[in-house]
Structure 1
């Protein structure tokens, strides 16, 4: 009997994450898999959970290479790499196409294709939901850290620019994290994704309300 696609994709994907930074590591892939299946279970239409799980494990295998500049587009690279690996394992072409479409369409980038299947939309939503809520705020802060100080760029400031002189500094601040959360939650495709997204949006709103009021002193003195 052929190995199930989800466990096979997990086995094939894990070595690619060895050099990943925390925001896009194997644990992110696993959370996206779990979230995607959770959303699928709340769908009224049938979902191919095996394709969905496989795509979740594979979707960010190109991130380490993109981070170091060895590839330009981790979505397209991961889809091509996965297609070759799955074909070598004897996976049927239609199954490979279903997985690789999900992988190509998972990014929020303007250059990414529109997710055309329910599985692709669920993967997109699960990936974006892992950037909201408690874990999501930590992930986004990690991403700001990854992007700060590279190639002579200024380090980001994790502070509230609206309450300080940092507003005119031009440096990224904590407001960027909130913008990223809103951008992702506003882009969700599925009803289960949007329902979970509103819950996580409320947590983010509460977090930033506390963040803004936590110090409680007049910084001008």
Structure 2
């Protein structure tokens, strides 16, 4: 993939707060690339690890992280703007889905019905 030349640091930095926060829909190519990169960073194996780390940092448990997969992470694939990001997202989404399914299967095999309850390990 060819590197994209940004016109100026200022033109790039104007997109960081709004795109990362999800406040506005990106309109320029630079903003779309930044938005896609931000979402891709939350997906895949590293995204799974980060989700559990952040949950632990906030005192949340496995069930909260599992719910986060369904509420946010598994929806990211559909929010990509560029074709390149869509390709990367497809692969990372597959890993996320397999992990979420395996987690839910193990939780159910432990006698629980869903991720809505407090998990006692």
TM over 0.5: yes
2:39 maps to 1:135: no
In the alignment, structure 2 segments of 5+ residues that lack a partner are 114-121
2:9 maps to 1:105: no
SS at match of 2:46: helix
2:112 maps to 1:198: no
The structural deviation recorded for 1:182 is: 2.4
- Aligned counterpart in structure 2 of residue 179 of structure 1, from 65, 68, 71: 71
* 8 Å contact from structure 1 (residues 108, 184) kept in 2: no
* 8 Å contact from structure 2 (residues 51, 65) kept in 1: no
> For each residue in 1:177-206, what CA deviation from the matched residue of structure 2 results, as whole angstroms up to 9, or x when unmatched?
332212333221111111111111111111
2:9 maps to 1:96: yes
Which residue of structure 1 lines up, in the alignment, with residue 118 of structure 2? none
TM-score, L = length of structure 1:
0.44
Moved over 3 A (4+): 214-220
Higher relative contact order (CA 8 A, sep 6+): 2
Q: Which has the larger radius of gyration?
A: 1
Equivalent-residue separation in structure 2 for 1:219 and 1:113 (angstroms): 39
Equivalent-residue separation in structure 1 for 2:102 and 2:79 (angstroms): 26
In the alignment, structure 1 segments of 5+ residues that lack a partner are 1-40, 52-93, 149-154, 160-171
Which residue of structure 1 lines up, in the alignment, with residue 28 of structure 2? 117
> For each residue in 1:146-167, what CA deviation from the matched residue of structure 2 results, as whole angstroms up to 9, or x when unmatched?
3x2xxxxxx42313xxxxxxxx
> For each residue in 1:105-135, what CA deviation from the matched residue of structure 2 results, as whole angstroms up to 9, or x when unmatched?
33143xx233232122111111110101100
Which residue of structure 2 lines up, in the alignment, with residue 188 of structure 1? 80
Equivalent-residue separation in structure 2 for 1:182 and 1:219 (angstroms): 22
User: Structure 2 vs 1, CA of residues 143 and 190 (structure 1 numbering), >3 Å: closer, same or farther?
Assistant: same
Equivalent-residue separation in structure 1 for 2:10 and 2:24 (angstroms): 14
Equivalent-residue separation in structure 2 for 1:206 and 1:142 (angstroms): 19
